[in-house]
Amino acid sequence: MDWTMLAVGIPALLLSVSAHEAAHGWAADRYGDPTARELGRLTLNPIKHLDPFMSVILPFILIVSGSGIIFGGAKPVPFSPHRMRPGTNIKKAIMWVAAAGPISNFIMAFVSLFLLETLRARLGYQSTQSFVGGFLKAMYQINLVLGMFNLLPIPPLDGAKVLAGFLPDPLAIKMYQLERYAMVFFLLIILTPVSKLIFGPMNLLDRGFRVLVSGLVW
């Protein structure tokens, strides 16, 4: 068991998925839907977002198995389109509520990389030689993966709702209806190489972040 990886990886994952879910709730609240706020989900407190299997058991298994991957999730934040302000374009609202989660992950990834490289440049921190450096490195990697993974255009992931926002209404409705088969799609994602589709875009984003941060820090 890699205890160092466990010590930095689990907190980083809990914070990342909590921010992701809170961002969904915040976006829905901005459209007038108070559901997440009423349930206390507009918070970074991981206890409010924990799913026993996705947030704890799965990441723990991945870490102790030495897979080199830290991954997990949280309870989805519910939102109610019918509670949004009158006159709201519901399809576009759903799209932005869905996009808010991955956007929050990309923001946290960028900030984590910026802080890590700033510490390295100014104080000589090495990402593998300190808890702070290890935590920031984990935050960067986890948020990059979470953001890209959730943008896969496969129900029930956020990318499906983002895609639906650009489709004609009849097709968008069919996309939303596919979420009833969420478990089937989840098994498809886990048991097939479909999740590898994120690697190309993720590597491009990684390079872009590193070039931008390098310019800002150095």
Which amino acid is present at 136? Answer: L
**Per-residue confidence (pLDDT) for residue 175, from 0 to 100:** 94
CB atoms closer than 10 angstroms to residue 74: 23
Burial 87-109 (b: 16+ CB within 10 A, else e): eeeebebbbbbbbbbbbbbbebb
The rounded distance, in Å, linking the Cα atoms of 141 and 110 is: 10
On the question of pLDDT at 33 being above 90, the answer is yes
**Per-residue confidence (pLDDT) for residue 119, from 0 to 100:** 85
Mean pLDDT of 141-168: 94
pLDDT tens sequence across 164-189: 999 999 999 999 999 888 888 877 87
**Per-residue confidence (pLDDT) for residue 68, from 0 to 100:** 53
Mean pLDDT of 57-78: 69
On the question of pLDDT at 129 being above 70, the answer is no
Are residues 113 and 210 in contact, defined by beta-carbon separation less than 8 angstroms?
A: yes
Average pLDDT, the chain: 87
Segment among 3-12, 170-179, 209-218 with least mean pLDDT: 3-12
Q: For residue 2, what pLDDT band results from cuts at 50, 70 and 90? A: low
Q: In sequence order, which residues have a C-beta less than 8 Å from that of residue 75 and are 6 or more positions away?
A: 21, 49, 50, 51
The rounded distance, in Å, linking the Cα atoms of 137 and 12 is: 9
**Per-residue confidence (pLDDT) for residue 206, from 0 to 100:** 95
Q: Which of 21, 38, 117, 179 is catalytic?
A: 21
The rounded distance, in Å, linking the Cα atoms of 119 and 184 is: 44
Domain boundaries, the chain: 3-217
21 is catalytic: yes
**216 class by beta-carbon count within 10 Å (0-12 exposed, 13-18 middle, 19+ buried):** exposed
- Whether the bond between 156 and the residue before it is cis, its omega within 30 degrees of 0, is yes
Look at the block and give the residue holding tokens 């949004």. Answer: 84
CB atoms closer than 10 angstroms to residue 212: 13
The tokens describing 179, both together, are 């979420």
**Per-residue confidence (pLDDT) for residue 7, from 0 to 100:** 78
| DSSP letters for 90-108 | HHHHHHHHHHHHHHHHHHH
**Per-residue confidence (pLDDT) for residue 13, from 0 to 100:** 85
**Per-residue confidence (pLDDT) for residue 27, from 0 to 100:** 97
CA 74 to chain centre: 10
pLDDT tens sequence across 118-128: 888 877 666 55
Q: In sequence order, which residues have a C-beta less than 8 Å from that of residue 209 and are 6 or more positions away?
A: 109, 110, 113, 144
pLDDT tens sequence across 40-51: 999 999 888 887
